Amino acid sequence: MTTGHLDLALEQDAFLGEGLQWRHGRWWWTDIENARLQAWAPGVAVQRWVLSDRLGCFAHCTSGRVLLGLAKRLAACRLGKEGAVQGLQTLTPVDAADPRTRVNDGRTDRRGYFVFGTMNEAPEKRPIGSFYQYSLQHGLRRLALPAVAIANSVCFSLDGRTMYFCDTLSQCIQQCDYDAESAQVANIRPFARIDEAHAWPDGSVVDAEGCLWNAQWGAGQVIRYDPAGRLMQRLKTASAPHTSCPALGGDDGRQLMVTTARQDLSREALLEMPLSGSLFGSTLPATLAVPDALFDDEPGDKK
């Protein structure tokens, strides 16, 4: 296994940076607890949109809108200049009868359907969260996956037939067979177990070689696993322990970027690590970025 460093890319103070992705020549991410969506490219000022509720995850759409995984609903809107949120439309409620849960991690599958999970915000953190798929064609469908306390690591193999996911508190990233059209899952099995005491699997992304990159909360690191779940590479930062979501992109597809968080850090810890909440990154030796599919919100145009 090789090791490397994550360097400061953009100083920020996100309380809970998450959901990072590369699209339209910019990095996009959410600061969940501050209900903000943000976009930035090197040399350009950060653009922010303040939303009506906390934003757990999001996806760009074929129509140019953005799909928003707000705390208790999925919605869509257009993003205007100077932080304007235009035409916000609720698509479906999520776990409306259970006040303990909120939408957490998610992304589009290779078909362009949105797959996401929920988490238990109650202090006892019992596994009551679920994984869902949403599309305009089929609506909201619960995936037959085990209940979780904190849903994370949602991503897909290059052919779209394997879904990766985890319950962060289990310290195990799992995988399953996945069929987008039927929303059926099968053959649930471990992919990678984390054996470090203070490393908790958070967001993940799959690269052009079929390997999975996972940000590990508490350890200040991003780990690359090969398709068999073996450790290949470790990138670390000593400046922010809570690495939360990796993404691959940049103009040449060789940039790894990761969000971090200030959440769960004491005042003393923040004095020692004031860059927590910033973006960190590394330049990779090869082009590995694979863009997420756009959310298919124009199904009537397809033959």
What pLDDT is attached to residue 84? 96
Could you tell me the sign of the dihedral formed by the alpha carbons of 255, 195, 19, 241, in that order?
negative
Phi-psi region of 160 (alpha: psi -120 to 50; beta: other; left: phi over 0): left
User: Distance between CA 255 and CA 249 in Å, rounded?
Assistant: 5
DSSP track, 281-303: EEE-SS----PPPPB---GGG--
Q: What's residue 303's pLDDT? A: 42
Task: Reply yes or no on domain 2-301 having CATH 2.40.50.200.
Answer: no
Mean pLDDT of 196-210: 97
Nearest to 112 by CA among 138, 93, 73: 138
Is 301 a residue whose pLDDT tops 60? no
Say whether pLDDT at 6 is over 50. yes
Task: Report pLDDT for 299.
Answer: 81
Report pLDDT digits (tens) over 232-245.
999 999 999 999 99
How buried is residue 278: exposed, middle or buried, by Cβ count under 10 Å (0-12/13-18/19+)?
A: buried
At 13-62, the pLDDT tens digits run 999 999 999 999 999 999 999 999 999 999 999 999 999 999 999 999 99
What is the pLDDT, as a whole number, of residue 1? 87
> pLDDT class for 300, splitting at 50, 70, 90?
confident
Identify whether the C-beta of residue 154 lies closer than 8 Å to the C-beta of residue 105.
Answer: yes
Residue range 108-118, pLDDT digits in tens: 999 999 999 99
The reported pTM is 0.97
Domain map of the chain by residue range? 2-301
Per-residue pLDDT tens digits for 69-83: 999 999 999 999 889
Report the Cα 222 to chain-centroid distance in Å: 13
- Dihedral (Cα; 245, 159, 294, 105), 10-degree rounding: -30
* CA 241 – CA 99 distance, rounded (Å): 30
Span 169-184, average pLDDT: 98
Number of other residues whose CB lies within 10 A of the CB of residue 126: 11
Q: What is the mean pLDDT of residues 73-99?
A: 96
Task: Check whether 302 has a pLDDT greater than 80.
Answer: no
Average pLDDT over residues 263-290: 97
Q: What percent of the chain has pLDDT above 90?
A: 97
